[in-house]
Structure 1
Amino acid sequence: MAEIEKITRQKEWYQLHLTSGEKLLVSEDQLVRYRLLKGQEVTPELLAEIKKSGAQEVGLQLAYHYLSYQLRSEKEVVKFLREKEVPNSTIKEIIWRLKELNLIDDRTFAESFVRTQANVGDKGPQVVAQKLKEKGVAPEVITEALLQYPLEQQISVAQHVAQRFLKRSSQDSFKVRQQKVKVHLAQKGFNQEVSQSALANLAPEKDDEQEAELLERLTAQAFHRYRNLPQDKRRQKVKETLYRKGFPYDELASLVDNFQEEE
């Protein structure tokens, strides 16, 4: 039969060192409840009971701490406890207790998550729904939670996302910027209806002077890139490059031909 060799303090926990070489992490409440003292004999039955109640108390405290920062889904809490090596049977008891205390509720979590994304995020409903799915939230709960993200707010967020993207893509032609921003909004989780409304509200207009300056600059860069090619091949590659960037062929062909004559 093992005895308690010593008891050491580890922050809010205590560790029992047994003569058998085993170490147990227990709470202060357990020390008092089981009257655990140095030199005390620990029967196999008492050891099993301490392990079971200890794992539950430790796991519950870990869960409290994890939930103190923000709301979590049930799946997230289960994953966290498993990573902390809490036994599966104990995790079930902990989850039941947390639900009883209303500390875990996937419906409340999902609604809060959607509201946060709608108010401070840059994701559309489709991406938000996918994230909730990954967090283990049931499909019907996700559908209801998305009601917290009304159409008007989706358009507003999409418009903000589009504005930021258009500023970053200033090195593209107007046509390419329009195409890219639509793809970007789709990747962010906004549907076609929302994207079209957002772009319509922005009403971006083509700046002919800016477009001409950009075309000249990109033409010079392309000629430099293909400088080692024969002249005819070089001119053709430059035209292909500029056309892929969304510039009208008539405009770019004229510029390339004139640029070539100046070489």
Structure 2
Amino acid sequence: MMWIEKIEVDRKNAERFYVHFVKEDGDKHTISVDQDILIEYRMKKGMTVTREQWAEMIKKDDEKQAYKMALRFLAYRMRSKQEVVDYLKKRHIDAQTIERVIGKLQHEQYIDDEQFAHAYVQTQMNTTLKGPYVIYKELMDKGVSEDVITKAMERYTEDMQRDKAIKWMEKINKQSKKRSYQEQKTYIAQLLHMKGFPSHIVEMAKQHVTADDGKEWEALIYYGEKAHRRYETYDRYTYEQKMKQALYRKGFSLSLIEKFLEKKKEE
């Protein structure tokens, strides 16, 4: 048995109290508890407490602190169950307490992976140009089950994926560096795959990459001059063969390459 010698407010947190206990042998112990624990056990000066009650108070207070910690974490945005678990683990909350807190949060609907997944997919669709595979992986990384993700991803229809892919393609086209038409198509396809779009959507988007003769010729001159500086010391035959190989690898047509080589002859 032990008895409460005094109770005082934590000056740094008015919702917490220091409870000073005295054991039968005279040893003293102080614990900090939440005001809800204080009220639940009707603690007051002179009250006797068993060791079991004392241990239970500490256990419940640990749970209360972890619960409030989780609520603060959830206040910023919706979270998956696994995100909350990981957050509490990083704060050194023990596994049993985490399990009880998660159960309570789920019961009170503060955590719901189905709602979270649907909201996450909708937000990514509304605010980003991400493809479905990237969003799917992000949800997997957040610990959401495959069944829940698959259901949530149903709202990201093929038409929407195509529109997103085309918007992304148009954005890249505007920022395009000096590339041949074929090289630009390949480059855009690679980026779309990295963005998480399936192959058939990428192929659809590639059809919207249009050739611009002016840009094509400008790009050819850029790469042609670089190749020319590299091979100009070779004999005429070797020079032309190496020039054709280098520019063809860049995706330029043979007719355009011949035109450039004729231009260099005239200079």
Instruction: Confirm or deny a common fold (TM above 0.5).
Output: yes
What TM-score range do you get, normalising by the shorter chain? 0.7 to 0.9
Match of 1:214 among 219, 225, 233: 219
8 A Cα contact 1:235 1:260, kept in partner: no
Deviates more, 1:206-215 or 1:80-89: 206-215
Cross-structure match for 1:204 = 209
Cross-structure match for 2:97 = 90
Cross-structure match for 2:250 = 245
Question: Within 5 Å, which residues of 2 pair with 1:10-49?
Answer: 10-11=12-13, 14=16, 16=18, 25-34=32-41, 44-49=51-56
Distance between the aligned counterparts of 2:6 and 2:94, measured in 1? 24
1:144 matches 2:151: yes
Distance 1:171 1:16, change over 3 A: farther
8 A Cα contact 1:6 1:38, kept in partner: no
Cross-structure match for 1:100 = 107
Q: What TM-score comes out, normalization by structure 1 length? A: 0.81
**Identity, % of aligned positions:** 31
Query: For 1:35-84, what per-residue CA distance to the aligned partner results, in whole angstroms no more than 9, with x for missing partners?
Result: 66899998754542232111111110011111111111111110011011
Distance between the aligned counterparts of 2:48 and 2:243, measured in 1? 87
Structure 1: gaps (5+ residues): none
Distance between the aligned counterparts of 1:173 and 1:157, measured in 2? 24
Q: CA offset at residue 117 of structure 1? A: 1.4
8 A Cα contact 1:110 1:132, kept in partner: yes
8 A Cα contact 2:18 2:32, kept in partner: yes
Cross-structure match for 1:124 = 131
Distance 1:230 1:132, change over 3 A: same
8 A Cα contact 1:4 1:40, kept in partner: no
Distance between the aligned counterparts of 1:39 and 1:121, measured in 2? 62
Cross-structure match for 2:11 = 9
Distance between the aligned counterparts of 2:32 and 2:228, measured in 1? 71
Distance 1:49 1:152, change over 3 A: same
1:60 matches 2:77: no
Distance between the aligned counterparts of 1:14 and 1:235, measured in 2? 84
Distance 1:12 1:151, change over 3 A: farther
Counterpart amino acid of residue 253 in structure 2: P
8 A Cα contact 1:12 1:27, kept in partner: no
Distance between the aligned counterparts of 1:207 and 1:21, measured in 2? 85
Give secondary structure in 2 for the equivalent of 1:246: coil
Structure 2: gaps (5+ residues): 22-26
8 A Cα contact 2:7 2:17, kept in partner: no
Bigger Cα Rg: 2
CA RMSD of aligned residues (A): 3.4
Cross-structure match for 1:195 = 202
Give secondary structure in 2 for the equivalent of 1:161: helix
Cross-structure match for 1:154 = 161
Cross-structure match for 1:231 = 234
Cross-structure match for 1:259 = 264
Distance 1:22 1:86, change over 3 A: farther
Counterpart amino acid of residue 248 in structure 1: S
Distance between the aligned counterparts of 2:225 and 2:53, measured in 1? 83
Query: For 1:137-179, what per-residue CA distance to the aligned partner results, in whole angstroms no more than 9, with x for missing partners?
Result: 1111111111121222111111111111222233211111111
Q: CA offset at residue 260 of structure 1? A: 6.8
